[in-house]
Chains A and B, each alone.
Chain A
Amino acid sequence: MQDRMTPAERLAAVLMGQKPDRVPVNPFILGFAAKIVNLPIGDLYADPRKSFRAQLLCAEMYGYDATPMYAYASFGAWEFGGEVGMPYEPGQSAPYIIRHPVESPEDVDKLEVPDPRKAGSIPIAMEIAKLCYENKMPVVFQAGEVLTTAANIAEPARLLRWMIRAPDVVHKLNKKVAEFFIAVAEYFTSTFGADKCMAFTGGPVESNKLINPRQFGEFVFPYMKQIHSKVLGMGVHVILEHPCSDQNANLPYYVQLRKELGWNGKYIWAFGPETPLEKQIECFGEHDIIMGNVDPPSFQFKSFEDVLALCKDNIERGIKNPSGYILGVGCELPPLAPPINVYALMKAAREYGRYQ
């Protein structure tokens, strides 16, 4: 079945609340793109030109609707003066932290908010953003999550212990992280214009596998609201929010966030597979786009037929969202997934995701 719209037209239609030819597909692909074009995964995170090209070619080959971007889960450690390793060794699939820049409460006091123009991976993200801009694609910058970033700076277990033993230290660190994200947003929006930018945010430390909803309310919500409010205030219209892993108990806070922001801007919610699409539609369906959440490990070990069935089920449930739906994966697609299983996403979107 042929597509009648280009990826850009399709995405624009969904963002404007119109129905495209079929549901768009964003498979949350990063490392997988490197494998497809026979590039070391390290290059996807270390070399902006190669990364852009790999992501673009992979999207072209499959025909999915995501554009290149730069983001990684260990964000924060390098940017605040620590050290990360790039995934060049066999078995490595994403940048990993070698040294956390904060080891003690005194380090938090001394920690300076870095200049985004020079901080860690930001120059690489900016190079990719420039290539996106030159190719008339949306510019995506990473703008959170605060607690995951703070955990990458201070080491996750240490940060979580401080939440009980020294909450003021966590707040001090979170304030600096929030200030940094706002500076990053200013850097990107002033370079390209806010209407060309989309903010991406998401991380696993906020999940209810680690913290309870009360802790989310105290240590995440105020900073998330501060950043999102500033980003929307700069004129960015779209925030791609990925509440990673199980965040069901945090859902009321995300709803509160949207209400308190006056439902301004458009959110694309990319929850993990733990959060049913029906629940997401109930919470955000009146205003926001829901991105599908097909179980990521299934792409790695299930058969093509099984993955196709999962995608079909996701489409049938997600397409009911009145403000739009994008077929997606609940977290990054495993880089070593068999290539045929990514095709299942496209086949499902074309066969079961057509709008009348």
Chain B
Amino acid sequence: MKDEILRGLTDSVVSGDVEKCVEYAKKALEAGIDAYEAIMEGCARGMSIVSEKYEKGEMYVPEILCSAEAMYAAMEVLRPHLKVEHVGTPRKVVLGVVRGDIHDIGKNLVKLMMEAAGFQVIDLGRDVPNERFVDIAVREGADIVGLSALMTTSMVVMPEVIKEIKKRSPKTLTMVGGGPLSPELAKAYGADGYAKDASQAVRVAKSLIGGVA
């Protein structure tokens, strides 16, 4: 019964079926399954499969966005039932698309994967002024700041943001990603990490902070 419900959650996240996902989330609560377990073993497992399929070219962004919708719908049902012991102090990640760029799909996918992996994500949105990244990183004591850009014309502000973060919040790590970026460019920009896509972002973030979200 329990396995069937968790598998139902996983499968409905992968297929992006919002109604079924909500149905299984409610079933999980009715069956006395711990909400944290339902999120981690049902929803997050589903997103992990989605991530693998994206990496293999078996799923693309339209399907992933539907999976995200399904996962968030289930989380809405499950989150109020999380027990206090599971609401610890997660690692904080500040995410945003840099100034002059409104392409936030990649950043939203990173956010989704990171939340599914247990990070607390502070989403600054898109077209984010440089100083806002820095101010929020300092104010929140962020573990990681992730900068995203789709265009060659917008990525150019990244070194400045990274430099300022290093100056004002030396413990905060930085990572970059998005279409025109590369490991070499990330290094040249002074970033601590680079992720090719959303599926890599969680792995990179975890490796930067020593494996614990």
Contacts and interface: CB of A to CB of B under 8 A. Distances in A.
B60 A93 contact: no
Given A156-B105, A331-B180, A211 B152 contact: no
B154 interface: yes
B124 interface: no
Interface string A161-196: 101110000000000000000000000000000000
Contacts of A13: none
A161 B105 CA distance: 11
B46 interface: no
Interface bracket on A = 35 or more
B204 interface: no
A215 B60 contact: yes
A62 interface: no
A88 B108 CA distance: 26
Contact of B105 (A73, A92, A94, A210): A210
Contacts of B164: none
A245 to B, nearest CB: 6
A25 B134 CA distance: 40
Interface string B147-181: 00011111111001000000000000000000111
Contacts, number: 104
Nearest to A210: B61
A94 B151 contact: yes
Main secondary structure of the interface of A (DSSP, over half): loop
Interface size class of B (residues with CB under 8 A): 35 or more
A160 B102 contact: no
A74 B189 CA distance: 26
Interface in A289-309: 296-297, 300-301
A212 B102 contact: no
Contacts of B188: 301
A160 B61 contact: yes
Contacts of A160: 61-62, 65, 105
B100 interface: yes
Contacts of A353: none
A259 interface: no
Contacts of B155: 297, 334
B63 interface: yes
Contacts of A74: 102
Contact of B63 (A93, A96, A164, A331): A164
A43 interface: no
B136 interface: no
B130 interface: yes
A212 B60 contact: yes
Given A161-B69, A335-B156, A211 B102 contact: no
A257 B105 CA distance: 29
B62 A161 contact: yes
A204 interface: yes
A332 interface: yes
B154 A204 contact: no
**Considering residues B61, B69, B127, B152, which has the most beta carbons from chain A within 10 angstroms of its beta carbon?**
B152
A7 B73 CA distance: 58
Contacts of A163: 62
25 contacts: A74-B102, A89-B99, A89-B129, A91-B157, A92-B154, A93-B151, A94-B153, A97-B102, A156-B103, A157-B65, A160-B105, A161-B65, A161-B69, A165-B66, A204-B150, A209-B179, A210-B60, A211-B60, A212-B57, A245-B179, A296-B180, A297-B180, A297-B182, A331-B152, A334-B153
